[in-house]
């Protein structure tokens, strides 16, 4: 046993091109927008100028561009907490200090309509990834200043577009098809606003690494009003993506992230 050398993943490859996202130091900015789907990375790019695609490996697609004088990075996380934690860890290694998740999330309260904007004030950690990082009672919470700015911009953008904006506690689940009606009903009774699959990992990793994180999503459906992803909600969801991206970008500019 004494002849073995155990790899310390916290330091291995820290100054190199990252193994999963394929990005190296100097290739990205200090703020990153994090959609889940690599197919939505170009959608964020439509808001930017001087766009350059940096890398696309597995579920992680990265581009950089400018928005109102601010350099912006966009990296897809893929679905779920494991790949999200990898993206945040590796982006932090190459210079990103602030993260804003822009994605889809299902409503859990009856007033949430598909396409509404949802700003997270914290996440119920129903995932396995964060359990490997922290104590079960450790909270998954976003950066306060970043979240206040996201709420302000999202409210103004939603009002202009004629859609709703809501903020509150969300749940982060690991298993999409394991969400039973009983689980959904419990979250609803406890006042949880929405459910998605990535934010708890982003929040916990960001806190542990001394970074900032927040989330603004588009409501994809409403699980207590019988509106599943298999229903006719996709146009409203896509409109909400654009509005959430704008709110995230305006926040990045205001706070000089």
Q: What are the tens digits of pLDDT across the range 215-224?
A: 999 999 999 9
* pLDDT-wise least confident of 46-55, 162-171, 176-185, 221-230: 221-230
% of residues, the chain, pLDDT over 70: 98
With b meaning 16 or more CB within 10 Å and e meaning fewer, what string describes 228-238? Answer: eeeeebeebbe
**Distance from C-alpha of 14 to C-alpha of 25, rounded to nearest angstrom:** 9
* pLDDT per position as a tens digit, 121-162: 999 999 999 999 999 999 999 999 999 999 999 999 999 999
CA angle 127, 132, 137 (to 5 degrees): 70
pLDDT given at position 15: 86
pLDDT given at position 233: 62
* pLDDT per position as a tens digit, 28-47: 999 999 999 999 999 999 99
pLDDT given at position 2: 72
pTM: 0.96
Residue 165 bridge partners (DSSP): 117
Q: How far is CA 177 from CA 33, 174, 193, 225, 246, in A?
A: 27, 9, 19, 18, 31
Judged against a pLDDT cut of 90, whether residue 227 lies above it is answered with: no
pLDDT given at position 231: 65
Token pair, residue 6, equals 């155990």
Rounded mean pLDDT of 65-85? 98
Residue 118 bridge partners (DSSP): 166, 217
**Distance from C-alpha of 241 to C-alpha of 24, rounded to nearest angstrom:** 28
């Amino acid at each position: 046993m004494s002849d073995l050398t155990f790899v310390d993943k916290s330091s291995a490859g820290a100054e190199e091109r990252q193994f999963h996202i394929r990005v190296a130091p100097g290739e990205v900015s200090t703020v990153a927008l994090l959609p889940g789907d690599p197919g939505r990375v170009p959608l964020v790019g439509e808001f930017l100028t001087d766009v350059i695609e940096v890398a696309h490996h597995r579920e992680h697609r990265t581009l950089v561009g400018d928005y109102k004088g601010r350099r912006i990075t966009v990296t897809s996380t893929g679905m779920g907490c494991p790949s999200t934690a990898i993206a945040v860890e590796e982006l932090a290694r190459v210079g990103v200090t602030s993260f804003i998740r822009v994605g889809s999330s299902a409503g859990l309260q009856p007033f949430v309509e598909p396409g509404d904007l949802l700003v997270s004030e914290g996440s119920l950690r129903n995932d396995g990834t964060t359990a490997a990082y922290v104590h079960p009672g450790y909270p998954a919470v976003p950066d306060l200043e970043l979240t206040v700015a996201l709420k302000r911009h999202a409210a103004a953008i939603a009002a202009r577009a004629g859609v709703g904006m809501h903020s509150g506690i969300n749940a982060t689940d690991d298993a999409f098809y394991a969400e039973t009606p009983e689980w959904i009903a419990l979250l609803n009774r406890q006042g949880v606003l929405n459910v998605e699959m990535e934010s708890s990992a982003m929040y916990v990793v960001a806190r542990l690494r001394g970074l900032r994180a927040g989330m603004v999503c588009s409501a994809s459906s409403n699980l207590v009003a019988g509106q599943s992803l298999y229903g006719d909600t996709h146009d409203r969801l896509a409109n909400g993506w654009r509005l959430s991206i704008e709110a995230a970008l305006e926040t990045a500019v205001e706070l000089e992230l």
